[in-house]
Structure 1
């Protein structure tokens, strides 16, 4: 009856699910089969032979017990996944159910024939009530298997309908017509219920398949993300090693007497080294954010010193590119992590200068209620509305199909947005193609007094004389890096002990018997040794915590977390001469 052409064939799993519904939804009918026969026998006890009533009631109970045993057998069957997945086995259990419920329905239908008393209107109404209730209740109970549902409706209703129609007049005729109408209506709703169950079962399996697919896609994405992070870390480390040594050699070479032509070539070499260093620094910033080692330290700070520092750095870049750089002065203060705000603004300004060919860049600070809006305006190429969100995606660049690395890596805005989230805010952008863009970072406004504290972004003044005569141990497994570091430190009049590992450094110190004033070590050394282990070895030998700097080109998240756990200053390759000098002064002359 319900085998409509619009219903696609059921798979084995769907058939099994429907049969399971068939057994589970019949629990209520099993209970009714135990309860209703008792009042039915009581009602007819004084009007029909007792033997007939008892035989009928006992037969109902026995068939119901058989159906309960059948339901338990199905439950044990489903505990075996291999058997439960077989469509032929599910059909066998469905037909078993149909036979059992057919016997039960036949017994209830026999009640409508054998208990029929045309001269007793109250008993006739009672019969009609019981049969109607049983037939309506079987719709939802048996709808999952159409043959069982059709058999139940036919065996329940038709005997009572035929017996009434056989009277041919009066109230029985009304009951007969009512029974036929009920029969047709129940078959219709059985069909509707079946299709609803099929749709729900299919939807359940489709959702399960979709969830499984989403999990697989998530796993693939996570695997790809981990592979990307590992690749970035490995590539960054391997490139940082020679760039670090190159930068130190160039700084040492600059101190030599050079001809005009040699100085020009040196300038070009330094520019190339700085460009490569900037790209690797961007990768490091990205890895630090992904590693979760970026932590916010909120404190009130004045905005103007930050804007002034940015203007000194990026104003020179704007002048070199023939652009106008302006910043509006402000007396406002914010409550946030100044170092993270500085990094966000640097990325926004680098992006603005990179995509501005004519005109200039404006940096402004505006009050918006209880917040401050730091804004970077540019007169660049602008951004189409459909790209306003995608620009914050990793490695996404507009207007750079040739992947010109002079335009960066496409990570600046992604890093800025991730850092903004660390600051519990976000970066908003408005843009008009061909007119320019404005990027806005909102921060909490600070209205209280500002304490006079050292600016963490301001570096101490460097002086080579303050490092003269110091004994510094350099540990690096890269020979070029060791030589470059030694050359630089000796130009500052320092005494150097260079080693490729912790035990090598310990051996040389034991021979010279001169304790070090500071240690500079790479983080990843040969044979699995780390800078942290080398520091522990030397500090245990000297029995005092020697000031130390860990210099690393490794950007993997775990390496960054390990390096930050040491009681040492962490610098990232390639390290500029000024940064290294300032770090040593900060350590040795706090």
Structure 2
């Protein structure tokens, strides 16, 4: 089980352009659909007036067909608006894009049928009727600026269909060999004016669309900034809370050995003949104070990023021999056995950092082991090198296996924690994270624990790698019990 109990620093990352564009397009579709009902109402009000004007002046079959088709499209769009309100109004993103892809053709259909009214009346109805129909079509074109320009594909689909339909209606008689009574000059003028109107309409629509898009992009960035500030504020509050807890715990743990030291000093002042008995206790209190300060300084340097890493070749057997020399007196003082096992291996690492990590693990194992012993070994695997620290101590319950890496945490029911500062495993966790190593823990309460430090296999190893390493480690561990 990998252990990484240091609180993760969640840094707010800016959203990708794809995410931003998807969010903005979703909002623009929302504006488009908010304006769909007013445009539908205006079309429904204009339709009876145009039918009344064209009745008796245009071919009845053509008028009936146009009316039925346009009315059918308007009813379909009414149903479409209801579907959007029911299913898509409360959603965003891909669902709205899917809605537009499904119903997008209806904008072009409305444009075609409104433009077709020019073809029905041109050269057939009276000049007054043609003028009114032209005004209605012009009004629908201008209405599209406010109704459809928010979402550019819908706006372009509608205006292109509207203008092309009007052009076909104007050019239709000429294609069929009917020459306008007013002459070709007036028809050419109408076509040129229509093309100019089309160009101006598209340009104005695109500018309005840019205004809509810029507004929502600004809203997106503002929300992103608000979210970032909120996260930073929460992180700051957590940091302050952690600092306060850290200082309170440090003050509590520092007060104990200092208070004991002052008591021993007073005792020595009043009873000088007790110096032989008091001196070891004074040394123990002084050692506890020095250990606390060293640990605090280590944590401060690691957190500040000032811990200097110096990589070099490290002889693992020599490292284990030095550590055995350091901790064997501690083990002997508790009647424990301390063993090491490693094949001849040279690795590329920081010897100070590696010694600090393994030393804290061994010290922690000895502190919580009352009988048996501790084994420090190196296991070779295909992709990693694994340093292992086994003990036959009290073990760690599952509910405490994450918390033990927090500052000043100590399992209250464990023997041997009275003089522990609760910083050793915190330093181990921070150093392994800093070096890019992995740390794993397996433990059973009242049976013992094994800490595994996994290093990438960019090491120089001598001798074949066999399963004998596992056999030797297990045999050595059995010898400790």
Per the normalisation by structure 2, the TM-score is: 0.50
Deviations 1:18-42 (A, max 9, x none): 9787343345334555556546644
Specify the alignment match of 2:3 in structure 1.
Answer: none
> Structure 1 53/319 Cα, relative in aligned 2: closer, same or farther at 3 Å?
farther
Q: How far off its partner does 1:433 sit?
A: 3.8
Q: How far off its partner does 1:416 sit?
A: 1.4
Match status 1:382 vs 2:395:
yes
State how 1:373-452 maps to structure 2 within 5 Å.
373-383=386-396, 388=401, 390-391=402-403, 393-395=405-407, 397=409, 399-400=411-412, 406=418, 408-443=420-455, 444-447=458-461
Q: How far off its partner does 1:429 sit?
A: 2.4
Equivalents in 1 of 2:378, 2:286: separation in Å? Answer: 34
> Structure 1 322/441 Cα, relative in aligned 2: closer, same or farther at 3 Å?
same
Q: How far off its partner does 1:263 sit?
A: 2.3
Give the match's secondary structure for 1:45: helix
Equivalents in 2 of 1:352, 1:233: separation in Å? Answer: 26
> Structure 1 401/422 Cα, relative in aligned 2: closer, same or farther at 3 Å?
same
Structure 1 residue runs of 5 or longer lacking an equivalent are 86-200, 449-590
Equivalents in 2 of 1:7, 1:364: separation in Å? Answer: 62
Equivalents in 2 of 1:352, 1:378: separation in Å? Answer: 6
Equivalents in 2 of 1:343, 1:291: separation in Å? Answer: 18
Equivalents in 1 of 2:381, 2:336: separation in Å? Answer: 29
Give the match's secondary structure for 2:309: coil
Give the match's secondary structure for 1:406: coil
Match status 1:268 vs 2:397:
no
Q: How far off its partner does 1:296 sit?
A: 2.2
Specify the alignment match of 2:150 in structure 1.
Answer: 22
Q: How far off its partner does 1:276 sit?
A: 2.8
Specify the alignment match of 2:64 in structure 1.
Answer: none
Specify the alignment match of 2:239 in structure 1.
Answer: 225
Structure 2 residue runs of 5 or longer lacking an equivalent are 1-77, 97-145, 463-481
Match status 1:305 vs 2:318:
yes
Per the normalisation by structure 1, the TM-score is: 0.42
Give the match's secondary structure for 1:287: helix
1:361 and 1:377 in contact (8 A); partners too:
yes
Deviations 1:64-88 (A, max 9, x none): 7457536645755887xxxx69xxx
Specify the alignment match of 2:376 in structure 1.
Answer: 363
Match status 1:288 vs 2:423:
no
Equivalents in 2 of 1:429, 1:270: separation in Å? Answer: 33
- The root-mean-square deviation of aligned C-alpha atoms, in Å, is 5.2
Equivalents in 2 of 1:399, 1:270: separation in Å? Answer: 26
1:295 and 1:422 in contact (8 A); partners too:
no
> Structure 1 214/350 Cα, relative in aligned 2: closer, same or farther at 3 Å?
farther
1:33 and 1:61 in contact (8 A); partners too:
no
Give the match's secondary structure for 1:25: helix
Equivalents in 2 of 1:393, 1:304: separation in Å? Answer: 28
Specify the alignment match of 2:358 in structure 1.
Answer: 345
Equivalents in 2 of 1:235, 1:224: separation in Å? Answer: 16
Match status 1:216 vs 2:230:
yes
Give the match's secondary structure for 1:296: coil
> Structure 1 73/302 Cα, relative in aligned 2: closer, same or farther at 3 Å?
closer
2:344 and 2:461 in contact (8 A); partners too:
no
Equivalents in 2 of 1:228, 1:238: separation in Å? Answer: 15
> Structure 1 331/46 Cα, relative in aligned 2: closer, same or farther at 3 Å?
closer
Equivalents in 1 of 2:156, 2:415: separation in Å? Answer: 69
Give the match's secondary structure for 1:400: coil
Aligned residue among 69, 72, 95 for 2:204 = 69
Q: How far off its partner does 1:268 sit?
A: 1.8
Give the match's secondary structure for 2:459: strand
